[in-house]
Amino acid sequence: MSSNSSMVNEAAPSGEEAGELEAISGAEPLAAKRTARIFCIANQKGGVGKTTTAVNLAAALVAQKQRVLLVDLDPQGNATMGSGIDKRELQATPYQVLIGEASIAEAAKTCESGYDVLPSNRELAGAEIDLVELEERERQLKHAIAAVADRYDFVLIDCPPTLSLLTLNGLAAAHGVIIPMQCEYFALEGLSDLVNTIKRVHANLNPDLRVIGLLRVMFDPRVTLQQQVSAQLESHFGDKVFNSIIPRNVRLAEAPSYGLPGVVFDPESKGAQAYVAFGAEMIERMKTL
């Protein structure tokens, strides 16, 4: 056995962890819900393609005639800029929404790619301090989304890469979590931490929360280790792993500098086509959840 294979086996999720993923399940099927399906795109590890997935999934769903709201819950504001909205000129952000000074309807902007964005900037970092004093501080976003949920088919929440009050607000508001992850050794190690976080939120804040699926991103089939990790994910988590695989693609990386999702910037690129396929898979998956 190669050293790479040995490392992957050591980091691989146990059968118990795979069972825990199945156990995190809401009481009501998502297909029965009449308002927006609300999903967090989350991973406690940074640099794993959360924002790229958020903006491209939003654009891919719009291409499928879905009404989409993208909530940028990261003070860095990358999903905002990647959607073509200047974060330096915002009148309202999730900060005002979370502390009750503005509604999502007032703060949201429609971007060129056809979806609405609740845009963010560094001001949002101050919400951590102000939320501490509020009752139900972990559920402020949930209440705000409820007021506009009938306007959308999907609400996507781009979470920061930390377990903070902002992330907890996202998880408490969501029906499910989409986990983008690279097929690398350390990504496997971090997955169990994220699953434990989701379990705690499911038990204490949001019994509807479940893991919708794991999305393999930045995938390079030429790298043996990535092939091994991908196989481990399929073996341990079965249908919790999306069929769609997002390749490492330079056009996806270039698109944010033009203020566009890759799906719009270069629809013919392999990365864009993979996200379009992922959007279609998400819509199809909603019929069975």
Dump pLDDT digits (tens) for 139-184.
999 999 999 999 999 999 999 988 889 999 999 999 999 999 999 8
Give strand ranges (E) for 147-260. Answer: 154-158, 176-182, 210-219, 241-247
Mean pLDDT score, 220-240: 92
User: How far apart are the C-alpha atoms of 56 and 233, rounded to whole Å?
Assistant: 23
Strand ranges (E), 170-231 = 176-182, 210-219
Mean pLDDT over 13-31 rounds to 61
User: What is the Cα 76 distance to its own chain's centre?
Assistant: 15
At a CB cut-off of 8 Å and minimum separation 6, what does 146 contact?
Answer: none
Average pLDDT of span 86-105:
95
What's the rounded mean pLDDT across residues 203-225? Answer: 94
Percent of the chain predicted with pLDDT > 90:
72
* For range 9-38, the mean pLDDT: 65
> What's the pTM value of the predicted model, to 2 decimals?
0.90
Angstrom distances, CA of residue 167 to CA of 21, 40, 66, 164, 181: 19, 9, 25, 5, 17
- pLDDT grade for 25, boundaries at 50, 70 and 90: low
Q: Other C-beta atoms within 10 Å of 9: how many?
A: 12
pLDDT at 134: 87
